[in-house]
A and B are shown apart, each in its own frame.
Chain A
Amino acid sequence: MAILTKKDTKLILDPLADNNPITIQVLGICSALAITAELKASIVMALSVLFVLGLGNVVISLMRNIIPSKIRIIVQLVVVAALVIIVDQVLKAFAYELSKTLAVFVGLIITNCIIMGRFEAFALGNGVWRSFLDGIGNAAGYGIILIIVGFFRELLGSGTLLGIPVLGNPIDKTGLYAIGYENNGFMLLSPMALIVVGILIWVQRSRNKTLIEEN
């Protein structure tokens, strides 16, 4: 391909599986536990991080030669915080409804370890285009796990997907509930997200043995 060299494609595809920020690097776990009780919230969070990480990586990469290394972490924090606030304000003015859905994520995006991790590990030492691809790739890898976890937690915990009942009505006892199925309220609590992520890590490692560390 003309635009994407083999190396570039690797930047995007690697974080989706073999170098996934959540299941392999175990970064960004806090938000993965906090907001995955619903599929919709997971999708919104995935898209927000995609935007902030893609743009943030570009900004940091542009500034990489003038940032004094002593205060680079502070500079990174300022860039993320400013980006998130700008997005938040613009949405509040022009897409008020959406901004209300996002309000809860603003704090979680700023403190997301993946964002700081990619700034520090990649954007500070690479060109703009490659940094952008790395940001998109990592955010997508993070988003995929979030959406998978959100899917199972909402399905098993509330019996709905994106707010739409898919297993029947638990109060009128229709659908699956007619034969005695019950929602698992545990799935709505954060510890179950950790267990779902754990199962994903297990599945991934048993399919790809090279990921298992020797000790």
Chain B
Amino acid sequence: MNKESNIYTVLFAASMVIVVGSILAYLASALSAKIKENERFEKQQNILYAMGVNQNEDEGSVNFVPTDKVEQEFSSFITEQLVIEGDKITEDDQAYLINIKKELDLIKDGKTPKLPVFIGEKDGETFYIVPMYGKGLWDAIWGFMALDKNMTVQGVYFDHKAETPGLGANIKQRYFMDDFKGETILNGSQYTGIKVAKGNNDPVNNIKDDNEVDALAGATITGNGVSAMISKTVRLYKDYFESLRNKE
């Protein structure tokens, strides 16, 4: 057959698509269970990390609870998983599987989202852990934030899909995440969020009530993304925390 003929070209292209397509489809379905399990463990690890259950050794390390123990630790530290849907609050032990991105999209369509809260107990303290989701420079950024009743940050975990290594990707470094500890989301009773600020003259972050943490050099847009993410997603939980405080 003439290799340069149109028929050959079309046949070649068609069979290539079928072969490559079936290889990829087979692979995706064969591995999907394993990949899903990895993602589930990762979510549990991230939630536990935010409330301070991790295996960090020295100053710079970010070490999660190992995957073979994470399910057990998750059920022992996380005492309640709640889903807030409008005014309705229900308990759901699968709440950590809620895809927060989809729920945030619902808000855009004017619908009521299902917002998960994880309540953790550690050393007699209660943590309320909420998910976050937003945009960095290249792609999605997300994370979890552990708060107390007064919306003071007890710990955070950030992650990203494709921020620049060495710049925006440093949002998941200890020195950035640890800066959030002790910062307040509220200013008085006003919701302010936490701003990732350049030149706030506080590089070691000693001032905790300024609603600001020091920015990363060279990662302005990722930093702004983090500020926006906190301001947008954590705000959705404002009423829930208010009701917690009013209960007493």
Q: Which residue from A104, A163, A185 sits with its C-beta under 8 Å from B163?
A: A104
Do residues B24 and A157 form an inter-chain contact, with CB atoms below 8 A? no
Do residues A35 and B164 form an inter-chain contact, with CB atoms below 8 A? yes
Q: How far is the CA of A41 from the CA of B170 in the complex (A)?
A: 12
Neighbouring A residues of B8 by C-beta, 8 Å? 68
Minimum C-beta distance from B38 to chain A (A): 4
Asked whether A206 is an interface residue with its Cβ less than 8 Å from the other chain, the reply is no
Q: B158-186, CB under 8 A of A: which get 1 and which 0?
A: 00011111110100000000000000000
- The listed residue with most B CB atoms (<10 A of its CB), out of A34, A70, A86, A103, is A70
Asked whether A134 is an interface residue with its Cβ less than 8 Å from the other chain, the reply is no
Closest to A79 in B: B20
Asked whether A89 is an interface residue with its Cβ less than 8 Å from the other chain, the reply is yes
Q: How far is the CA of A92 from the CA of B39 in the complex (A)?
A: 9
Neighbouring A residues of B60 by C-beta, 8 Å? 163
Q: How far is the CA of A70 from the CA of B3 in the complex (A)?
A: 10
**Which of the segments B28-36, B73-81, B97-105 contacts the partner chain?**
B28-36
Would you mind naming 22 contact pairs between A and B with Cβ atoms under 8 Å apart?
A35-B165, A37-B218, A40-B165, A41-B165, A68-B3, A68-B12, A69-B3, A71-B9, A74-B13, A78-B17, A86-B23, A86-B24, A86-B27, A89-B31, A89-B35, A92-B38, A103-B162, A104-B138, A157-B166, A163-B60, A171-B204, A185-B217
Q: Which residue from B13, B35, B169, B218 sits with its C-beta under 8 Å from A93?
A: B35
Q: A24-42, CB under 8 A of B: which get 1 and which 0?
A: 0000000000110110110
Neighbouring A residues of B23 by C-beta, 8 Å? 82, 86
Closest to B13 in A: A71
Q: How far is the CA of A152 from the CA of B203 in the complex (A)?
A: 25
Neighbouring A residues of B31 by C-beta, 8 Å? 89-90, 92-93
Do residues A104 and B9 form an inter-chain contact, with CB atoms below 8 A? no
Neighbouring A residues of B20 by C-beta, 8 Å? 78, 82
- Which chain A residues numbered 69 to 88 have a C-beta less than 8 Å away from chain B? 69-71, 74-75, 78, 82, 85-86
Asked whether B4 is an interface residue with its Cβ less than 8 Å from the other chain, the reply is yes
Closest to B28 in A: A89
Do residues A188 and B3 form an inter-chain contact, with CB atoms below 8 A? no
Q: How many A-B contacts are there with CB distance less than 8 Å? A: 81
Q: How far is the CA of A68 from the CA of B24 in the complex (A)?
A: 23
- Which chain B residues numbered 96 to 151 have a C-beta less than 8 Å away from chain A? 138
On whether A103 and B161 interact (CB within 8 A), knowing A75-B16, A185-B218, A189-B218, the answer reads yes
Asked whether B42 is an interface residue with its Cβ less than 8 Å from the other chain, the reply is yes
Minimum C-beta distance from B120 to chain A (A): 23
Q: How far is the CA of A2 from the CA of B30 in the complex (A)?
A: 42
Do residues B12 and A66 form an inter-chain contact, with CB atoms below 8 A? yes
On whether A67 and B12 interact (CB within 8 A), knowing A86-B23, A93-B34, A93-B35, the answer reads yes
Minimum C-beta distance from B202 to chain A (A): 12
Minimum C-beta distance from B135 to chain A (A): 15
Q: A133-167, CB under 8 A of B: which get 1 and which 0?
A: 00000000000000000000110011000010000
Neighbouring B residues of A89 by C-beta, 8 Å? 27-28, 31, 35
Do residues B166 and A37 form an inter-chain contact, with CB atoms below 8 A? yes
Do residues B167 and A188 form an inter-chain contact, with CB atoms below 8 A? yes
Minimum C-beta distance from B216 to chain A (A): 9
Q: How far is the CA of A188 from the CA of B4 in the complex (A)?
A: 49
Neighbouring A residues of B34 by C-beta, 8 Å? 93-94
Q: How far is the CA of A157 from the CA of B170 in the complex (A)?
A: 14
Closest to B64 in A: A97
- Give me 5 other A-B pairs in contact (C-beta within 8 A), A68-B8, A89-B27 excluded: A68-B4, A89-B31, A96-B38, A104-B163, A157-B166
Q: Which 4 A-B pairs have the closest CB atoms?
A: A37-B166, A41-B165, A38-B166, A93-B34
Do residues A104 and B162 form an inter-chain contact, with CB atoms below 8 A? yes
Do residues B217 and A188 form an inter-chain contact, with CB atoms below 8 A? yes
Neighbouring A residues of B166 by C-beta, 8 Å? 37-38, 41, 153-154, 157-158, 188
